[in-house]
Amino acid sequence: MLLSLTIKNYALIESLEIDFSDNFSIITGETGAGKSILLGALGLVLGNRADLSVLKDNEQKCIIEAHFLLKNYNLQNFFIENDLDYEDNSIIRREILPSGKSRAFINDSPVNLNVLQELSNFLIDIHSQHQTREILNEEYQLEIVDAIANNAEIIVHYTKELKQFNSIKKQLNQFKAEKENLSKEQEYNTFLLNELLLANLKEGEQELLEEELEQLSNVEFISESLDKALQISNDEQIGISVHLNEVKQSLQKIAGLSKNYADVSERINSIQIEFQDIINECSSFSEKVINNPERLEEVNTKLQSIYTLQKKHQVNSVEELIEIREELDAKVVKVDDLDFQINKLETEVADAQNRVDAFANQLFDRRVKSIGNLSTQIETILSSLGMPDAQIQFKITATDSYFKSGKDTIETLFTSNKGMQLGMLKKVASGGEMSRIMLAIKAVMANYTKLPSIIFDEIDTGVSGEIAIKIGEIMKEMSKNMQVFAITHLPQIAAKGTQHYKVYKFTENETTVSELKLLTQEERIKEIAEMLSGKSISDSALNHAKALLN
């Protein structure tokens, strides 16, 4: 409920602070006194857009602050989800700066307008004769039926199971789409994989094959070079080995005469040993050099295969080809794995769907059972509001589609005249009838669910007498379960309020100022008398006002 409202520097309001009670509050005032300004300020604090035109003083910021009691609305999760501090007595503040920038706060934490607008749906419902399209919304109509049928807990279960069902179904569809894409490529992927498997690739083999190809392609040159090296080294007359041996013997003769000679002798000895080892290896190499055209053809064919695959897959190494081979293998295998996963998920989807359908069927049954009672209650109230022949019916139809609160659609049928066929509400009800239907629905729902505070903004336009009294009585009855405000021009309704506020304007320092004040009992009598007879209040008007209040 709205506990208090503070307005500073807004339109005609310089500064206003007002407290409210939890019952039936009446707001009256002459046309143009500022009732719409009050609603505009309240709309700003609930998240409506604003511009600089709302500033009374363009050099000062506009501040609107509303205190709400939230303990009966179960809004803790909303505050947690939006990272806000929850308090039973919460404060919403809106500031419009002279620069045009707007700021919003919930319990001193800055928030964007989307959060503020979402929260406002739980706090205040502003209802005027021209704002009855809500009743034409199927979702809202189902909310009405669900409130009467006490379906809140079942809807919670349905929503949870529907979320799970949609999640599994989404995963299943993703797997099916992936399989379809893979299946389209399966034949080609299998061909590429078999091609790579047939190549029997091994890491590092390209370098070895290229080296072997070089040797096989140059057998004669290698053989000639090795033979020449061996001949130069091993010739009995002029070979390097013979001369090295002579050098070694000469140095050994003087090695004992000096450490320097001994070192040189040792070094030449090492050279001779290393040289002989080289000659032995060259001799071994020479023996192994064989002209092998078959092996040359084999190596060349294998390398050409590798080069072709590299070009085909746009890579430069065998290692990259092996990586592609593993990826293709994984894709080919994955199709089989996807079949298993798809079969498993199809079973899970069927189970989840059965659970969702079970709750949806419960909702349908309970809705069908409750609509007769709902129609009767609304028709009873409409009869008291001057529509004795009004009939309203709610037609529930089960579908195969899944909506956020079940699988049902709803159609509201209405007629205000006896003997006339019922038609779709949005086509046959007039504006005045829609306003009374909405009031009746709100009155019924107030007995079944915790509604936000409601402001009836001159919905009594065009009615008077006994109907006005009945409208006032309905609002007063509603206020037993919720906070109700009525902005009205009718004394019959004004007299029903628990407390009465008056909006008025006056001139101060050559500036028009709008104010809102809580009336005393004597002031209420005068205000209602003035509503009855105008500015010239007669004794009969005063007596009539007292009678209405009593």
Over residues 158-186, the pLDDT tens digits come to 999 999 999 999 999 998 888 877 766 76
| CB count in 10 Å sphere of residue 100 | 10
Write down the pLDDT at residue 390.
93
Q: Which of 237, 247, 286 is nearest to 270 (CA)?
A: 247
Alpha-carbon torsion angle 432, 437, 443, 448, nearest 10: -160
Q: For 392-442, what is each residue's pLDDT tens digit?
A: 999 999 999 999 999 999 999 999 998 889 999 988 888 888 888 989 998
Is 0.85 topped by the overall pTM?
Answer: no
Write down the pLDDT at residue 37.
84
Pick the CATH number of 1-123+452-519 from 3.40.190.150, 3.40.50.300, 3.40.50.620, 1.10.3720.10: 3.40.50.300
- Which residue ranges does the chain devote to CATH 3.40.50.300? 1-123+452-519
Write down the pLDDT at residue 11.
86
Which ranges of the chain have pLDDT less than 70? Answer: 129-133, 183-184, 186, 332-334
Write down the pLDDT at residue 332.
67
**How many helices (DSSP H) and strands (DSSP E) are in the chain?**
17, 15
Write down the pLDDT at residue 523.
93
Write down the pLDDT at residue 168.
95
Q: Is residue 478 within 8 Å of residue 484, measured between CB atoms? A: yes
Q: Is the dihedral of CA 439, 441, 443, 445 positive or negative?
A: negative
Write down the pLDDT at residue 526.
93
| CB count in 10 Å sphere of residue 32 | 13
By residue count, the chain amounts to 550
CA atoms of 462 and 129, how far apart (whole Å): 10
Write down the pLDDT at residue 69.
93
Q: Is residue 172 within 8 Å of residue 345, measured between CB atoms? A: yes
